[in-house]
Chains A and B, each alone.
Chain A
Amino acid sequence: MNITVRVWRQKNADDKGRMVTYGVENVSEHMSFLEMLDVLNEQLTLAGDDPIAFDHDCREGICGMCGVVINGIAHGPEVTTTCQLHMRSFEDGAVIDVEPWRAGAFPVVKDLVVDRSAFDRIIQAGGYISAPTGSAPDAHAVPVPKDDADHAFDAATCIGCGACVAACPNGSAMLFTSAKITHLGLLPQGQPERESRVIGMVEQHDHEGFGSCTNIGECTSACPKGIPLDTIAQLNRDLLGALAHGKA
């Protein structure tokens, strides 16, 4: 198949940026979306042009490094990561718009590459259990009900890709933040820091310039790992509890 891509090109953080149109011929339907970009980049390189910069690493949907907006949808038309999207999801002759995540808290570094370090700083603000190496009791000392462990796991599958932020009209990172709050808050080991965690992480979230959550739900529908919206309800409950205890 032959396709046309219109790609966001931006030299660096200071550049204004623009959409540039490229044709890609002989695209196989079995190619992943990123392999299609690889092929385009080989063409550009041989022509002496600057290839398109995009983030990617594992290419198996787990590292969370890749992610672009395709035809206005974070990670494109299938609910998966960009690296797991294949060209069979597009028709011959398609015109495909490719843009970086759009959010104030994720400034563009170059082309499709954005700076998501705000996510690391949200984790630094409390997204952990303080368990210094060597201090742990036997793993069976505290049984965890299977339901809690399973739900904690579901929330813990977040890959930190940022699609939730890109999809949210408010540019909120509440799904990312609530996934961690839920994961750790459901486990007995996470209880001592439960209130300070939610206060710290939400404060950092706001400080980074992410928008507020207004329960739209675009985040969860774009999430390649299916992090459920009710994690945000969990976050709100924890936050109210912590505030009521005067932990702010």
Chain B
Amino acid sequence: MTTNVSEQFHAVGEDIHDTKAPAGPIERRWDERKFSTKLVNPANRRKLSVIVVGTGLAGASAAATLGEAGYHVKSFCYQDSPRRAHSIAAQGGINAAKNYRNDGDSIYRLFYDTVKGGDFRARESNVYRLAQVSVNIIDQCVAQGVPFAREYGGLLDNRSFGGVQVSRTFYARGQTGQQLLIGAYQALERQIAAGTVEMNTRHEMLELIMIDGKARGIIVRDMVSGEIETHTADAVVLATGGYGNVFFLSTNAMGCNVTATWRAHRKGAFFANPCYTQIHPTCIPVSGDYQSKLTLMSESLRNDGRIWVPKKAGDDRAPSDIPEDERDYYLERIYPAFGNLVPRDIASRAAKYQCDAGKGVGPGGLGVYLDFADAIARLGRHEVEAKYGNLFDMYAQITGENPYEQPMRIYPAVHYTMGGLWVDYDLQSNLEGLFVAGEANFSEHGANRLGASALMQGLADGYFVLPYTIANYLADGPYEKIDDSHPEVVAARTAVEERIEKFLSINGTRTVDSFHKELGQIMWDYCGMERTEEGLIKAISMIRDLKADFWSNVKVTGVNEELNQTLERAGRVADFFELGELMCIDALNRRESCGGHFRAESQTEDGEALRHDDEFAYVSAWEFGEEQPTLRKEPLEYEYVEMKSRSYK
């Protein structure tokens, strides 16, 4: 086998073969695993403690469920309330294999669609379990009072989402994430009142404590007083979300960061598939260099909107002045079968190509038109308003333009990260006692996540998977009590304190945000929608230079012993530099195009993504090294779903 050019940046270690999934028929595996888990006597549960970091769908549901079971739970979030976590911003819906529409859906079909949608880079066993528990999630949420959309008969409504041929998506107008999160938040608050969960808001995890090979606690900073605190427990759960903000501009909340998982990675946890990033095609474009975040608009807009650019590069006429025959409806032209409804990755890349060719519209030429003129003519303004009114209002609010009168401008934006900490079937990382849930782990979406699947996975992990698997781990506890004076605790605390002192002492000439924006631009240009060998190698060197400049030239004002938002951001950006480099190395290693990762060197004659299953049907699990990371491959096997390539022409 030829050596990969990426190997100048990393070592290659032994493959990972055991993911702890039971053998046997796939539909029996989760039952087998549940039956084989050890149980904990209810009277002993109080003596067992679990730290849960993050209060999004995965974290809040895990903390509430573990609290209900009687464990002593300590929950942490950086926001002022657990209800703020960014799961709240999810719009579309949540999938479940209920088959309430009697349209041929089943657990097996949801499993099949998810494996295929993930471009054959997810594990069959995990995905099957996800499809199985999806049905329980809807029951649970309804019982909690989540106000899903209903029909006149009082039963739940469903819709088809993301090009799937069955209607399995449950939704609450355009605010499904909000309603699901509030449900989990209320369950969590109920446990806080019951005294089973101890809540720590405005606390940020800055280090993981490892003792005798086990995750035993975390170091956090109280973001109001600046106090560095030690919290120990019998197990640690990270449910800290994705790392899309490495790009600076993304649809993530401003505070979303990689620090919790990156700190765990530095302590030995494998980081899997970091290069798998989902870029969503229908976001509102950047309007200027002050831009702080990007806003997603539901891709349901593509059901009726037509995407186009001027045929002539540099055409700066108003859209209404460009006659029909001088417009290029490029998706309809290139993909006549699917037209404007091609999957997210294809629509995003096509927009990039148009803009690269100088045909982009709006400020900086980074946008394409999404035009509703035909839909309004066909359906009438009233019907378009009924379908998309809230999205049109949102667009008008942000851009100051009226989308009923002129076409919307859209551009792709980073939206979700499929990569994350490597976990086994039990959602345990390679570090004993460290569990990872939701977007923070790498597991069920493979190289590409389907619409309405993120909410499903977050709640599956938190309500229905972790509570079983973590109990199995806790059954061997309680582990030896850890004192604050334990050398590993002292070392972790000292490391955190020294890092903070370092940030405050540099007193350079550039702001944290200016570094973050520059890093984001490098990531977007070279590790965004399309990656090349040359570009990735260049990006690695640029990131290293920028990181060195950051550590000698960043300016962090104020002191530690106060609410200091600049200091908070400095710590997050410092970790983004290291993650960004690993993302580029991972992307460089993966000389194939799959899902959210498109390598220009690996495409078909007509420019479509070309996978190389013979070489790359594996999970890339990266082990941290001070000098260089080590690649550990977990081979992927498909017993149930035949590996096929996607085609949308």
**Contact partner, B84, options A63, A149, A189, Cβ 8 Å:** A63
Q: Is the CB of A35 within 8 A of B291?
A: yes
Residue of A nearest to B82 (CB): A120
Q: Is the CB of A131 within 8 A of B140?
A: yes
Query: Is residue A218 within 8 Å, beta carbon to beta carbon, of the partner chain?
Result: no
Known: A88-B400, A129-B145. A124 touches B139 (CB 8 A): no
A187-206 vs B, CB cutoff 8 Å, 1 = contact: the mask equals 10110000000000000000
Q: Is the CB of A160 within 8 A of B152?
A: no
How many angstroms from the CA of A142 to the CA of B56 in the assembled complex?
28
Q: Select the stretch in B117-125, B183-191, B298-306, B575-583 that faces chain A.
A: B183-191
How many angstroms from the CA of A88 to the CA of B396 in the assembled complex?
12
Task: Kindly list chain B residues whose C-beta atoms are within 8 Å of the C-beta of A49.
Answer: 557
Task: Kindly list chain A residues whose C-beta atoms are within 8 Å of the C-beta of B88.
Answer: 58, 62-63
**Contact partner, A124, options B100, B193, B201, Cβ 8 Å:** B193
Known: A57-B86, A136-B136, A149-B150. A86 touches B398 (CB 8 A): yes
Task: Kindly list chain A residues whose C-beta atoms are within 8 Å of the C-beta of B634.
Answer: none
Q: Is the CB of B398 within 8 A of A38?
A: no
**Contact partner, B189, options A30, A127, A145, A156, Cβ 8 Å:** A127
Residue of A nearest to B151 (CB): A146
Closest 7 interchain pairs by CB? Answer: A143-B154, A136-B143, A128-B186, A131-B143, A124-B193, A153-B147, A136-B139
Task: Kindly list chain B residues whose C-beta atoms are within 8 Å of the C-beta of A142.
Answer: 142
Interface class of chain A by DSSP: loop
Partner-A contacts on B (CB < 8 A): 61, 64-65, 68, 79-86, 88-89, 98, 100, 136, 138-145, 147-156, 172-173, 175, 178-179, 182, 185-187, 189-190, 192-193, 199, 201, 224, 251, 253-255, 287-288, 290-293, 295-296, 394, 397-400, 463-464, 467, 509, 511, 513-514, 555, 557-558, 562-563, 565-566
**Contact partner, B557, options A28, A51, A57, A133, Cβ 8 Å:** A51
Task: Kindly list chain B residues whose C-beta atoms are within 8 Å of the C-beta of A110.
Answer: 224, 562-563
Q: Is the CB of B292 within 8 A of A59?
A: yes
Known: A120-B81, A133-B68, A187-B145. A58 touches B89 (CB 8 A): yes
What would 14 more interface pairs be, CB under 8 Å, given A45-B566, A59-B292?
Answer: A38-B513, A56-B254, A58-B89, A59-B253, A59-B254, A117-B201, A120-B199, A123-B185, A124-B190, A129-B144, A129-B145, A133-B187, A137-B139, A153-B173
**Contact partner, A140, options B100, B189, B467, Cβ 8 Å:** B100
Task: Kindly list chain B residues whose C-beta atoms are within 8 Å of the C-beta of A31.
Answer: 288, 290
Known: A29-B400, A59-B254. A140 touches B89 (CB 8 A): no
Known: A86-B398, A189-B144. A58 touches B253 (CB 8 A): yes
User: Can you pick out 10 interface pairs between chain A and chain B where the beta carbons lie within 8 Å of each other?
Assistant: A59-B254, A63-B85, A116-B80, A129-B186, A134-B464, A142-B142, A144-B154, A149-B149, A153-B173, A156-B172
Q: In the complex, how many angstroms separate the beta carbon of B557 from the nearest chain A beta carbon?
A: 6
Task: Kindly list chain B residues whose C-beta atoms are within 8 Å of the C-beta of A62.
Answer: 88-89, 175, 178
Q: Is the CB of A156 within 8 A of B65?
A: no
Q: Is the CB of A65 within 8 A of B144?
A: no
Task: Kindly list chain A residues whose C-beta atoms are within 8 Å of the C-beta of B175.
Answer: 62, 157
Known: A59-B293, A127-B186. A51 touches B566 (CB 8 A): yes
Q: Is the CB of A109 within 8 A of B254?
A: no
Q: Is the CB of B152 within 8 A of A146?
A: yes
**Contact partner, B172, options A55, A120, A153, Cβ 8 Å:** A153
**Contact partner, B79, options A65, A129, A149, Cβ 8 Å:** A65
How many angstroms from the CA of A67 to the CA of B577 in the assembled complex?
31
Residue of B nearest to A123 (CB): B189
How many angstroms from the CA of A38 to the CA of B186 in the assembled complex?
33
Residue of B nearest to A45 (CB): B511
Task: Kindly list chain B residues whose C-beta atoms are within 8 Å of the C-beta of A144.
Answer: 150, 154
Q: Is the CB of B84 within 8 A of A65?
A: yes
How many angstroms from the CA of A41 to the CA of B292 in the assembled complex?
13
Q: Is the CB of B138 within 8 A of A45?
A: no
Query: Is residue A177 within 8 Å, beta carbon to beta carbon, of the partner chain?
Result: no
Query: Is residue A102 within 8 Å, beta carbon to beta carbon, of the partner chain?
Result: no
A7-35 vs B, CB cutoff 8 Å, 1 = contact: the mask equals 00001100000000000000011111011
Task: Kindly list chain B residues whose C-beta atoms are within 8 Å of the C-beta of A115.
Answer: 80
Q: Is the CB of B155 within 8 A of A140?
A: yes
Q: Is the CB of B139 within 8 A of A84?
A: no
CB contact list, A33-89 vs B, under 8 A: 34-36, 38-39, 42, 44-46, 48-51, 53, 55-65, 80, 84, 86, 88
Q: Is the CB of A64 within 8 A of B84?
A: yes
Task: Kindly list chain B residues whose C-beta atoms are within 8 Å of the C-beta of A84.
Answer: 397-398
Residue of B nearest to A200 (CB): B193
Query: Is residue A105 within 8 Å, beta carbon to beta carbon, of the partner chain?
Result: no
**Contact partner, A131, options B85, B187, B192, B251, Cβ 8 Å:** B187
Q: Is the CB of A160 within 8 A of B291?
A: no
**Contact partner, A117, options B81, B193, B463, Cβ 8 Å:** B81
Known: A38-B292, A84-B397, A157-B175. A57 touches B79 (CB 8 A): yes
Q: In the complex, how many angstroms separate the beta carbon of A5 from the nearest chain B beta carbon?
A: 15
Query: Is residue A214 within 8 Å, beta carbon to beta carbon, of the partner chain?
Result: no
How many angstroms from the CA of A113 to the CA of B565 in the assembled complex?
11
Q: Is the CB of B292 within 8 A of A32?
A: yes
How many angstroms from the CA of A159 to the CA of B182 in the assembled complex?
9
Number of interface residues of A (CB under 8 A): 79
Residue of B nearest to A129 (CB): B145
Residue of A nearest to B139 (CB): A136
Q: Is the CB of A139 within 8 A of B173?
A: no
Query: Is residue A125 within 8 Å, beta carbon to beta carbon, of the partner chain?
Result: yes
A140-172 vs B, CB cutoff 8 Å, 1 = contact: the mask equals 101111100110110011011000000000000
Q: Is the CB of B254 within 8 A of A45?
A: no
How many angstroms from the CA of A51 to the CA of B81 in the assembled complex?
23
Q: Is the CB of A80 within 8 A of B178?
A: no
How many angstroms from the CA of A32 to the CA of B563 in the assembled complex?
24
Q: Is the CB of A187 within 8 A of B147?
A: yes
Most interface-central of B82, B85, B467, B566 (chain A CB within 10 A): B566
Task: Kindly list chain A residues whose C-beta atoms are within 8 Å of the C-beta of B400.
Answer: 29-30, 86, 88
Task: Kindly list chain B residues whose C-beta atoms are within 8 Å of the C-beta of A58.
Answer: 84, 86, 88-89, 253-254
Task: Kindly list chain B residues whose C-beta atoms are within 8 Å of the C-beta of A132.
Answer: 65, 68
Q: In the complex, how many angstroms separate the beta carbon of B462 from the nearest chain A beta carbon?
A: 9
Q: Is the CB of A184 within 8 A of B145?
A: yes
**Contact partner, A109, options B84, B142, B255, B563, Cβ 8 Å:** B563
Known: A59-B293, A143-B155. A130 touches B190 (CB 8 A): yes
Q: Is the CB of B290 within 8 A of A28?
A: yes
Q: Is the CB of A53 within 8 A of B563?
A: yes
Residue of B nearest to A44 (CB): B557
Q: Is the CB of B65 within 8 A of A133?
A: yes
How many angstroms from the CA of A183 to the CA of B186 in the assembled complex?
12
How many angstroms from the CA of A43 to the CA of B514 in the assembled complex?
12
How many angstroms from the CA of A88 to the CA of B399 in the assembled complex?
10
How many angstroms from the CA of A137 to the CA of B528 in the assembled complex?
44
Task: Kindly list chain B residues whose C-beta atoms are within 8 Å of the C-beta of A65.
Answer: 79-80, 84
Residue of B nearest to A120 (CB): B81
Q: Is the CB of A42 within 8 A of B511?
A: yes
How many angstroms from the CA of A139 to the CA of B148 in the assembled complex?
10
Task: Kindly list chain A residues whose C-beta atoms are within 8 Å of the C-beta of B187.
Answer: 128, 131, 133
How many angstroms from the CA of A43 to the CA of B566 in the assembled complex?
13
Q: Is the CB of A80 within 8 A of B83?
A: no
**Contact partner, A123, options B98, B151, B186, B555, Cβ 8 Å:** B186
How many angstroms from the CA of A80 to the CA of B4 in the assembled complex?
52
Residue of A nearest to B459 (CB): A133
Q: Is the CB of A156 within 8 A of B179?
A: yes
Task: Kindly list chain A residues whose C-beta atoms are within 8 Å of the C-beta of B142.
Answer: 136, 139, 142, 189
Q: In the complex, how many angstroms separate the beta carbon of A117 from the nearest chain B beta carbon?
A: 7
Residue of A nearest to B190 (CB): A128
How many angstroms from the CA of A124 to the CA of B558 in the assembled complex?
35
Q: In the complex, how many angstroms separate the beta carbon of A192 from the nearest chain B beta carbon?
A: 12
